[in-house]
Amino acid sequence: MTPAHKVLLPALLAAMLLLLLGTPSAKAAAADPSSCALRGTTGWTDEGHDTDYSVFQRPAGTIKVGMIFVDFPDAPATESPADDAAQLTPGADWVWNASHGKAWLAITQQQRWVRMPHNSTDYGFARGLGHEAHEAYLRDAVTAADPQVDFSQYDMVYVVATRNAPAISFTPTYVYDPGTAGVVADGTRIKWAVTFGQDMWHWGPKLVGHETAHTFGLPDLYAFDTGSDGHRFVGGWDVMGLVGGKAPQYFGWESWKLGWTDDSQVHCQASAGSSTVYLTAVEYGSGTKIAVVPTGPTTAYVVESRRSVQADTAACSTGALVYKVDTSVRTGYGPIQVMDAKPGATPASGCRPLDDAPYWAGESFTDSAAGVRIDVLSADGYGETVRVTKS
């Protein structure tokens, strides 16, 4: 070998190695997931990870729920309490499965009707029901049931109105506000409650998953200002959006916020570079669930895999679902927005816009301004392999 060859050969081998492995700057090690856990700034329910558990309840372990049934002087019950309970109690199993076994609602039914002191039309539901009016309704229900119920045994309360009371039209969640008198029974402050109205007959057990999650600190993902489409932010993805949506499993971001997904199941792309990640569908409990690319103090893009199993058996489409999280956005104003891979496509029968939003193998999402690119490299029955890039 000539002296020239001795000089060129190592350089040639090094160049070939770089071609095979890629340049060092093209790769970035995953950051500590805490670098992607954005803080909330709204002071109430939002998508931030710093949930105030002096206000909201922890979504872990067994949560003891007392279920009471109320009727009214102008709307006496004619059905059995069991008829109403059957519409809701399967929601405990729904939450158990959606939380991957991390949270169980132990619902104790008080199988009797208690009479409220006022007519159903006197409680103000038709006017939208502010916090103090809602608290007054809850107080009347708890006071009426108190002779037969030991409220000190429960973490939260479900109040179920008779089907014969159309004036109790919808289902709000109650979270105690220290600025109000509150509701106290049996030496216990009632901090969390859901008061079920007539919409329970439309939404069914998944309404339990939606409303109870508000007591965990999750916001509404549908639009309060309905405009042309009240579900324009997330479509039928996530029960916090459309309760009756085709794919109501909680987003992986929310599952992480609630502690149902561990830090070890999160890939955080906080620094410039790219990583290839295999994502197991969020409907399953194991594997890496989400890849997060933060774009600011309160914003990030998230990609997760969705499959038509478990809570999402009716999903209109499967694949890699990409969405933007903004923890500074208030409940009802789009704190999560799904990115649509097929904005020009007509949804299949029974599906709505965004229900076909997932990206498939060979497709990519790009936000050049934010310096984010997500490529779907391949898919199998359990998830997607994606490449996430931050520039």
pLDDT tens for each residue of 121-162: 999 998 789 999 999 999 999 999 999 999 999 999 999 999
Strand 299-306 relative to strand 319-326: parallel, antiparallel, unpaired? antiparallel
pLDDT at res. 25: 34
Q: Which amino acid is at 134?
A: H
Closest CA to 174 of 159, 185, 161, 163: 159
Q: At residue 106, what are phi and psi to the nearest 5 degrees? A: -90, 95
| Domain range annotation of the chain | 29-44+231-390, 61-215
Q: What's the Rg (C-alpha) of the chain? A: 25
DSSP letter, residue 1: -
> Which secondary structure element, helix H or strand E, spans residue 364, and what is its range?
strand 364-367
- Measure the CA angle with vertex 88, ends 131 and 49; round to 5°: 55
Structure tokens at 68: 């009471």
pLDDT at res. 234: 98
- Report the C-alpha gap between 4 and 216 in whole angstroms: 70
- Report the C-alpha gap between 22 and 379 in whole angstroms: 23
Sign of torsion, CA 125 171 69 163? positive
DSSP 221-266: -S-SS-TT-TTTTTTTBSTTT-TT-SB-SPPHHHHHHTTSS-GGGE
- Report the C-alpha gap between 195 and 277 in whole angstroms: 43
What CATH topology corresponds to 61-215? Collagenase (Catalytic Domain) (3.40.390)
pTM over 0.75: yes
Tell me the pLDDT of the chain (391 aa) as tens digits. Answer: 444 444 334 433 333 333 333 333 345 567 899 999 999 999 999 999 999 999 999 999 999 999 999 999 999 999 999 999 999 999 999 999 999 999 999 999 999 999 999 999 999 998 789 999 999 999 999 999 999 999 999 999 999 999 999 999 999 999 999 999 999 999 999 999 999 999 999 999 999 999 999 999 999 999 999 888 999 999 999 999 999 999 999 999 999 999 999 999 999 999 999 999 999 999 999 999 999 999 999 999 999 999 999 999 999 999 999 999 999 999 999 999 999 999 999 999 999 999 999 999 999 999 999 999 999 999 999 999 999 999 9
Q: Look up tokens 């933007």; give the residue.
A: 324
- Measure the CA angle with vertex 253, ends 305 and 277; round to 5°: 45
pLDDT at res. 8: 39
pLDDT at res. 16: 37
- Measure the CA angle with vertex 173, ends 314 and 138; round to 5°: 140
pLDDT at res. 221: 98
